[in-house]
Amino acid sequence: MHFPIADVVISPLFLAGVGFLVGLLGGFFGVGGGFLAGPMMYLVGVPMNFVVGTDLAHMTGKSIVAARRHRTLGHVDMKLGLLMVLGTIPGVEVGARIIETLEAAGSIDRVVGLAYVVVLLTIGVLTGWESLRAMQLVRAERMQAKDALAFRGATRRVQLFSLPPLISLPGSGIESISLWVVLGVSFLTGLLAGALGVGGGFIRMPMMVYLLGVPTHVAVGTDLFEVVISAGFGTLTHALKGNVDILIALVMHTGAAIGAQIGAMSTRFFVGPRIRLLFSALPILGASLVILRMLGVVGGG
Amino acid sequence: MGEAASVIMCQRVYWDVSEHILAEYSGVQPRTLWPTVQLSVTVRENPDLVKSPWRAVEALLHWIVKSAVWLYTYAQSTRGGISDLEPDCRAGALRESDCGRTPSRAVERRGAGRVSVQGGTHVGSSGRRTFIRNFVIEILIYGLLVVGYFLLVLRLLGGLLKGLVDENLTLYAFVALVLIVLQGALLELITSFLVRRLGLERLE
């Protein structure tokens, strides 16, 4: 099928299939899925400038569907989501500027690539280890499965920081937390996302769980809510530059919307530690792709 | 149409074959495998299988049905056996006292991420089956709507959108955002409405 805006010929079934897969992952883990959809689009010949914008457009639609579904399940903390957006936006901006400054000083592709690999592997391995440990504790009946966390030390320490104003996040079951902690964590995730050039879903979700103490299901739903805002904003800015092929995005969304519904609903059937265990494979997969690209085994952008 | 039907038939055969091959390697019973795996294999090995939007739609519908069958089979095969399938006790969505119960009519959100069950009955396989069945029907309706929406946009607005990109990027940007938001939000609302009209219970 010919898509006149990007001027490419791609099978719509392929696009819908990729969309479905990304939607499924997004609905279940609360990630945007750009690490998968972007390379796939590039692989079938979508020009690079359209890859980013179109991916953001389909991500917006998919996240709306998944966030709405999570909301019906009580998994979205709107207050936390909006506060996180406030911290994420300056974080992304600062991260992007740091990269610009470093780039002006010389080529930093390899440095960014290595940082990306280190961050993703750390998240993947830590999340995997923690969730396995949590599941062991649940099996030994030392902990309730509901939202078992193997280590709460970081969460406790973060929550002990009580610089006013203190806020409550009833949607996440947090009675009292400093607003600065929420903004700080979201700034940090934004900074990493901006510096590494990623959407940041797979950084934000574990940060919310381990640092803020948000239940896994709520972290997934709230992350999606945030993706709606950030991806929507990104779509608009990219579309203004003519970098969005909305027809490709709509085809991808036919699959993604269904995948997102199934993914979001599937979270009902999994306990928190199991979601985190499955999630831990994602950053490791992302890191592997970057390693392969750095070694020149796979191309793409 | 005959050509399209033959494509679908080829896919069915391919699915069945791949299902058994994968079953042999994975040890999972045929008919319980994830259809997406098969779809990706189908696409990779038959890049020219689908060339027109109509064939793509037909194939996609078949795939949706296949996914629905998989989901239903999965629910059937795990009846009473899955520890994770007591969702809300663990997900933190229901009250502690509601553990072991499933929503039979409606689920009402009561702030603070807590949800209470109205008219809840003990979880039974029939409750779970009803839940899965309703969800599958909902997904099918939704799937039809999103595909229909895309075809409608393609037919009615395809040329116009291309013209907008060349002439008025600002308008194009807003139209693009509206189109994707509508596909995401509006169709979901229509689905909810239709599901209610059909008298199916839905978790909300």
* Assigned domain for A191 exists: yes
Task: Please provide the average confidence, as pLDDT, over all residues in chain B.
Answer: 61
* Greater pLDDT, B39 or A42: A42
Residue B19 reports pLDDT greater than 70: no
Per-residue confidence (pLDDT) for residue B89, from 0 to 100: 40
Report which listed range, A40-44, B79-83, B93-97, B98-102, is most confident.
A40-44
Contact across the interface for B184 and A65, Cβ inside 8 Å = yes
* Assigned domain for A54 exists: yes
Report which listed range, A48-62, B81-95, B113-127, is most confident.
A48-62
Nearest-CA distance A110 → chain B (Å): 31
For chain A positions 67-86, those within 8 Å of chain B (CB to CB) are 68, 72-75, 77
Residue B28 reports pLDDT greater than 60: no
What is the 3-state secondary structure of chain A?
CEECCCCEECCHHHHHHHHHHHHHHHHHHCCCCHHHHHHHHHHCCCCHHHHHHHHHHHHHHHHHHHHHHHHHCCCCCHHHHHHHHHHHHHHHHHHHHHHHHHHHHCCCHHHHHHHHHHHHHHHHHHHHHHHHHHHHHHHCCCCCCCCCCCCCHHHHHHHHCCCCCEEEEHHHCEEEEEHHHHHHHHHHHHHHHHHHCCCCHHHHHHHHHHHHCCCHHHHHHHHHHHHHHHHHHHHHHHHHCCCCCHHHHHHHHHHHHHHHHHHHHHHHHCCHHHHHHHHCHHHHHHHHHHHHHHCCCCCCC
Give me the average pLDDT of each 10-residue run along chain A (301 residues): 84 88 85 76 80 84 87 86 87 80 71 79 85 78 63 75 82 84 87 72 82 86 86 84 88 89 83 81 79 67 42
Per-residue confidence (pLDDT) for residue B60, from 0 to 100: 62
Residue B81 reports pLDDT greater than 50: no
Least confident range from A26-30, B40-44, B193-197: namely B40-44
Same domain, B6 and B70: yes
Stated pTM of the model: 0.68
Number of domains composing chain A: 1
Contact across the interface for A218 and B113, Cβ inside 8 Å = yes
Mutate to test the interface with B, among A60, A250, A274 (most CBs of B within 10 A): A250
Beta strands (DSSP E) in chain B are: 101-102, 106-109, 115-118, 121-122
* Boundary (domain end) residue, out of B43, B60, B78: B78
Phi, psi of B32, rounded to the nearest 5 degrees: -115, 5
Domain that holds residue B171: 125-204
* Assigned domain for A5 exists: no
- What percent of chain B has pLDDT above 70? 35
Per-residue confidence (pLDDT) for residue B45, from 0 to 100: 55
Residue B56 reports pLDDT greater than 50: yes
User: In the structure, what pLDDT confidence band is assigned to residue B1 with cuts at 50, 70 and 90?
Assistant: very low
Residue B131 reports pLDDT greater than 80: no
Per-residue confidence (pLDDT) for residue A299, from 0 to 100: 52
For B158-174, the pLDDT digits (tens) are: 788 888 888 888 999 89
Same domain, B70 and B115: no
Same domain, B99 and B134: no
Same domain, B5 and B70: yes
* Assigned domain for A4 exists: no
Domain that holds residue A145: 11-294
Same domain, B130 and B119: no
Per-residue confidence (pLDDT) for residue B85, from 0 to 100: 42
For chain A positions 120-149, those within 8 Å of chain B (CB to CB) are 145-147
Per-residue confidence (pLDDT) for residue B88, from 0 to 100: 41
* Greater pLDDT, B51 or A103: A103
Number of domains composing chain B: 3
* Assigned domain for A300 exists: no
Mean pLDDT of B144-165: 86
Mean pLDDT of B82-101: 40
Per-residue confidence (pLDDT) for residue A176, from 0 to 100: 82
